[in-house]
Amino acid sequence: MNRRRLLTALAGLGLTGGSLLAVSQGLPGGSDGLSVRVETVDAAGSEAGQLGLPVRGQPVTVVDLFATWCAPCREQMDALGAVHREYGDRAAFVSVTNERVGGTLTRADIREWWQRHDGNWTVGLDPESALMAALGADGLPYLAVVDRSGTVRWEHAGLVDADTLGDRLDRHLEA
């Protein structure tokens, strides 16, 4: 037992934090620029189809990574809704889940979740976690502000309040 404990430390299989919403900060945004396509879902404020990220013709795209099982993601929707009301005409908003549709989770479930949490912008699917990988996201919720070239201007793991996100958007919309 002691040997195992010692080896745990040596092998770097460290303990992860016990904090509530903690997700590790992801890697810094890739220098090559984000370029990912997601399937979009028919839901409030969202049409079924395909969408490239960053969204063309928009100065910035707010990317929100969520999952229907993620409790803090539900909480994040309030702040996102408030920011969307204020900035929705100047920035693209896209929420994406990496849950694979199938089994007990359907597109209708995602649509329902979206409606229940007052989502009113594009919601998409990333079943192969390509977007999560591109952003280096290591947990949920995860927010990123991406400019038109695909450069990640800001990203954050864990809950973000509306003021903080609004400040970030102001900064990049003025730049």
Partner 1 sequence: MRRRTYLQVAATLGAAGLAGCSASGAGNPDVVLPEPDREFDSSDLPYPAWGERLPDVTLPAPLADREVALRSVDRPQLLTFFYSHCNSVCPVLISALRNVQTHALNEGYGDEVAFHPTTFDPERDDADRLRTYGEEMNVDLAAGNWRFLRPASRGRAEEVVAEQFGVSFERTHPEEMEVYMFAHAALTLLVNADGYVERAYREKQPDPETMIADLETVRNG
Beta-bridge mates of residue 125: 39, 97
- Quick one: which of 47, 69, 149, 163 contacts partner 1 (CB under 8 A)? 69
Pairing mode, strands 152-157 and 142-147? antiparallel
Question: What's the CA gap between 172 and 140, in Å, rounded?
Answer: 23
- Does residue 118 bind partner 1 (CB under 8 A)? no
| Single-letter residue type at 15 | L
Tell which positions 82-101 bind partner 1, by CB under 8 A. Answer: 98-101
- Quick one: which of 31, 50, 89, 102 contacts partner 1 (CB under 8 A)? 102
13 Cβ contact partners less than 8 Å away, ≥ 6 residues apart: none
- Quick one: which of 25, 58, 120, 129 contacts partner 1 (CB under 8 A)? 129
- Does residue 57 bind partner 1 (CB under 8 A)? no
Stretch of 34-42, 48-56, 80-88, 131-139 lying at the interface with partner 1 (CB under 8 A): 131-139
